C-alpha cells in the first residue's frame, strides 16, 4: 500500500542524515561527545543604545587577562564606528565613536577566555598605590572616627576591613556613617565609602564587578565583590567583609565604582552579556582551518551565528526531539495528555527552573487556576472573556509565585516568567471541562499524564550529550523526522490498550 512510499521517504531521510553525520565525524573530525575538560568560554557583550542623528560616543568596560584568566581571542563587531581600546585606572574599556548616526544601534564584543591552572604558590604582588580619598572638614573627622573605632575592635587588616564594612552595612547607622552616606545610600555608595575610609589607613579595598561563567546563559547578571590587599596578595571578600569562597569561575570585568559603560550623544544604553562553554573548540578549529577551501557544509554551520542566536538554536533544535517523545508517548504508550505539544512547551520552561521547582510551580498554578475557573463558572461568563480572565489570573499568579520565591531566596522563581501562560490557561480550561463532563479522575489522569510527559521531555532536554549532538550535528533531526514518518504508519496496539482490552485475555 502506501506504506512502501513512507519507507522510501524514511530511508532517504535516514540515509542523508547519517551520511552527513558520518562525513562530519570521519572526514572533518567533528567531536561526538562534548569536550568539557578545557575550561574555555565564549563571552559576548552586546551594547545597544538609541541615537538621535548626532555624533555619538559609547564606552564599555571589557575584561583583561589576569593571573587566573587569559583572553585567547577577542573581536569587535561595530560596523561604521571608530573603535579604540583604552586603559583607565587599571581597567580596560572599549570606546566606539561615530560622526552621524540615528536609530537603534547594537555593537558586539566577543572574547574567548581560558581559565588558567591555579598555581599553588600564591603570587605576591606589589602593594598598589593608595588614592587620596579627599575627605574635608566634618567628613574627614567622621571618617577618622569610623577608622579609629574599627581599628580598636580589630586585630589585623582583614578584621578591620570587616569591621568597617559592617558599620556601613548596618541597618541603623551611627552618626559618623550617616553623615558620610547621606539619606538613601546605594549598595555601591556604602562600599565606596568603606574603601575611602580604609584608604586613610593606607589599606586598599577595591570593588570588583564580574560575571560567573555558567554554560549557556544569556543575560548573565553582573555580580560584585571586594578585594583587599594584605600580606602581598589580593584577598576576595563579600560585601560584608567575609572571605568569599564561591568565586570559582568568576571572571572579573572591571574594578571601581563606575558603571559598566556610558554614552554621550545617545540614550538608553543597555549592555547584555552572554556566556557559553567553548566546548566545541575542536569544531572551531575545524571551522578556522583552511579558510580558502571550506567545504560547503562548514559555511552553513550554526557556529557562524552570533552567540546569542546560537543559544536560542541550542534550545530550538531540541524541540523536535520533544515532539518525537510525545509521538511515542501518545501513539505507542497511549498516555493521555492535555493538548498535543503542551508538555513540550512546559518542559522548555522546566529546563530553566529545574524539574522539582517546575513541577511544584506547574501544579500550584494549575490548581489555583482551576479554583478560579470553577468560581468563574458560577458567574456564568462566556467562553472567550472567561479564558481572558483566567489568563489574567494565571499571569498574576506567576508574578506572585516569582515574588514569593525571590523573597525566600529561591532564584529559580524568576525564570518562571518563561512559563507558557497561554498554554497553561488552555490547560486549565480543558481540565475543568473534562472535570465537569467526565469526572475528577479523568481530569487528574490527563493532568498527571501531561506532567509526566513534561518531566520526561525535560530529562531529554537537559541531557548534555544530546544537546551537544543535535547542535553539532543538526542533520540528526532528519532521522527524527524519518522516525516520525515511520511511527505515522504504526498501526499496532498502544500499551494502554493492552489493559483496556484485557477482557479479551480472560477465558470465557
DSSP-derived secondary structure for 281-334 = HHHHHHHHS-GGG--HHHHT-GGGS-HHHHHHHHHHTTHHHHHHHHHIIIIII-
Nearer to other proteins, 381 or 466 (CB): 381
As a whole number of angstroms, the distance between CA 335 and CA 328 comes to 9
- Residue 72 or 487 having the CB closest to other proteins: 487
Return d(Cα 267, Cα 270) in angstroms, integer: 9
- Least distance in angstroms from the C-beta of 325 to other proteins: 17
C-beta separation of 146 from 312 below 8 A: no
Task: Write down the least CB distance from residue 342 to other proteins, Å.
Answer: 15
Residue placing its CB nearer to other proteins in the complex, 262 or 493: 493
Evaluate the CA torsion angle 345, 456, 372, 401 in order and state its sign. Answer: negative
- In the bound state with other proteins, the residue whose beta carbon lies nearer, of 6 and 466, is 6
Minimum gap (Å) between residue 411 Cβ and other proteins: 38
DSSP label at residue 224: E
**Burial of residue 87 (number of CB atoms within 10 Å: 0-12, 13-18, 19+):** exposed
Q: In whole angstroms, how close is the CB of 326 to other proteins at the nearest point?
A: 15
CB nearer to other proteins: pick between 317 and 428 = 428
Nearest distance in Å: CB 328, other proteins = 12
Q: Which residue has the cell 552553513?
A: 300
Q: How far is the CB of 362 from other proteins (least distance, A)?
A: 23
Whose cell is 593571573? That residue is 67
Ramachandran area for residue 94 (φ above 0: left; ψ -120 to 50: alpha; else beta): beta
Strand order in the sheet with 40-52: 69-77, 102-115, 40-52, 266-277
CB of 321 to other proteins, least distance (A): 22
Least separation in angstroms between residue 439's CB and other proteins is 8
Cβ at position 17, least distance to other proteins in Å: 24
Q: What are the residues binding other proteins (CB under 8 A)? A: 1-2, 331, 334, 380, 382-384, 433, 437-438, 488-494, 497-506, 508
Secondary structure of 412-432 in the HEC alphabet? Answer: HHHHHHHCCHHHHHHHHHHHH
Q: Which is nearer to other proteins, 126 or 499 (CB)?
A: 499
Q: How far is the CB of 323 from other proteins (least distance, A)?
A: 18
Euclidean distance between CA atoms 371 and 375, whole angstroms = 6
- Shortest spacing between CB 349 and other proteins, in angstroms: 24
**DSSP for 466-489, written as a single string:** HHHHHHH-TTHHHHHHHHHHHHHT
Pick 137 or 492: Cβ nearer other proteins? 492
Give 302 or 332: the residue with its C-beta nearer to other proteins. 332
**How many Å apart are CA 199 and CA 195, to the nearest integer?**
6
Angle at which helix 476-488 crosses helix 319-327, to 10 degrees, equals: 20
Residue closer to other proteins (CB basis): 152 or 383: 383
- The Cα diameter of the chain in Å comes to 104
DSSP bridge partners of 76: 109
| Closer residue to other proteins, CB minimum distance, 221 or 492 | 492
Q: Least Å distance between CB 254 and other proteins?
A: 54
> Looking at beta carbons only, is 407 or 502 nearer to other proteins?
502
Q: What is the DSSP letter of 124?
A: P
Residue closest to 259 by CA, chosen among 440, 392, 93: 93
Closer of 118 and 380 to other proteins (Cβ): 380
Please give the angle made by the CA atoms of 198, 202 and 204, to the nearest 5 degrees.
Answer: 65
Count CB atoms within 10 A of the CB of residue 211: 22
Amino acid at each position: 500500500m502506501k506504506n512502501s512510499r513512507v519507507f522510501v521517504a524514511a530511508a532517504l531521510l535516514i540515509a542523508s542524515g547519517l551520511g552527513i553525520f558520518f562525513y562530519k565525524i570521519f572526514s572533518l573530525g567533528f567531536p561526538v561527545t562534548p569536550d568539557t575538560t578545557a575550561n574555555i568560554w565564549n563571552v559576548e557583550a552586546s551594547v545597544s543604545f538609541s541615537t538621535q542623528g548626532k555624533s555619538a560616543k559609547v564606552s564599555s568596560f571589557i575584561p583583561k587577562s589576569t593571573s587566573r584568566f587569559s583572553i585567547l581571542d577577542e573581536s569587535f563587531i561595530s560596523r561604521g564606528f571608530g573603535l579604540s581600546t583604552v586603559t583607565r585606572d587599571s581597567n580596560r574599556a572599549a570606546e566606539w565613536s561615530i560622526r552621524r548616526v540615528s536609530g537603534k544601534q547594537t555593537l558586539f564584543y566577543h572574547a574567548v577566555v581560558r581559565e588558567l591552572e591555579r598555581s599553588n604558590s600564591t603570587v605576591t604582588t606589589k602593594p598598589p598605590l593608595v588614592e587620596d580619598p579627599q575627605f574635608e572638614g566634618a567628613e574627614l573627622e567622621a571618617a577618622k572616627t569610623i577608622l579609629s573605632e574599627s581599628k580598636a575592635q580589630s586585630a589585623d587588616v582583614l578584621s578591620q576591613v570587616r569591621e568597617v564594612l559592617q558599620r556601613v552595612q548596618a541597618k541603623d547607622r551611627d552618626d559618623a556613617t550617616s553623615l558620610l552616606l547621606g539619606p538613601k545610600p546605594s549598595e555601591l555608595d556604602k562600599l565606596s565609602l568603606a574603601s575611602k575610609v580604609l584608604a586613610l589607613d593606607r589599606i586598599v579595598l577595591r570593588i570588583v564587578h564580574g560575571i560567573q561563567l555558567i554554560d549557556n546563559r544569556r543575560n548573565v547578571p553582573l555580580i560584585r565583590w571586594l578585594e583587599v590587599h594584605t600580606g602581598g596578595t589580593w584577598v576576595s571578600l563579600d560585601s560584608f567583609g567575609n572571605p568569599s569562597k564561591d568565586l570559582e569561575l568568576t571572571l572579573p570585568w572591571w574594578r571601581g565604582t563606575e558603571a559598566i559603560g556610558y554614552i554621550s550623544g545617545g540614550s538608553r544604553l543597555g549592555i547584555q552579556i552572554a556566556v557559553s562553554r567553548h566546548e566545541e573548540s575542536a569544531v572551531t578549529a575545524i571551522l578556522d582551518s583552511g579558510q580558502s577551501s571550506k567545504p560547503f557544509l562548514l559555511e552553513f554551520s550554526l557556529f557562524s551565528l552570533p552567540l546569542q542566536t546560537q543559544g536560542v538554536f541550542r534550545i530550538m533544535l531540541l524541540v523536535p526531539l520533544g515532539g518525537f517523545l510525545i509521538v511515542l508517548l501518545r501513539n505507542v504508550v497511549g498516555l493521555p495528555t492535555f493538548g498535543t505539544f503542551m508538555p513540550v512547551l512546559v518542559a522548555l520552561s522546566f529546563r530553566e527552573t529545574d524539574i522539582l521547582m517546575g513541577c511544584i510551580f506547574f501544579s500550584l498554578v494549575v490548581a489555583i487556576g482551576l479554583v478560579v475557573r470553577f468560581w468563574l463558572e458560577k458567574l456564568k461568563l462566556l467562553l472567550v472573556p472567561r479564558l481572558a480572565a483566567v489568563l489574567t489570573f494565571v499571569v498574576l499568579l506567576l508574578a506572585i509565585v516569582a515574588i514569593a520565591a525571590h523573597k525566600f531566596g529561591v532564584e529559580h522563581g524568576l525564570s518562571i516568567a518563561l512559563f507558557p501562560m497561554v498554554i497553561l490557561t488552555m490547560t486549565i480550561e480543558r481540565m475543568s471541562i473534562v472535570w465537569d463532563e467526565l469526572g475528577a479522575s479523568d481530569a487528574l489522569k490527563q493532568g498527571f499524564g501531561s506532567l509526566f510527559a513534561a518531566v520526561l521531555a525535560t530529562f531529554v532536554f537537559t541531557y548534555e550529550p544530546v544537546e551537544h549532538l543535535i547542535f553539532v550535528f543538526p542533520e540528526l533531526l532528519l532521522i527524527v523526522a524519518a522516525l516520525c514518518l515511520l511511527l505515522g504508519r504504526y498501526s499496532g496496539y498502544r500499551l494502554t490498550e493492552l489493559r483496556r482490552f484485557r477482557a479479551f485475555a480472560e477465558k470465557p
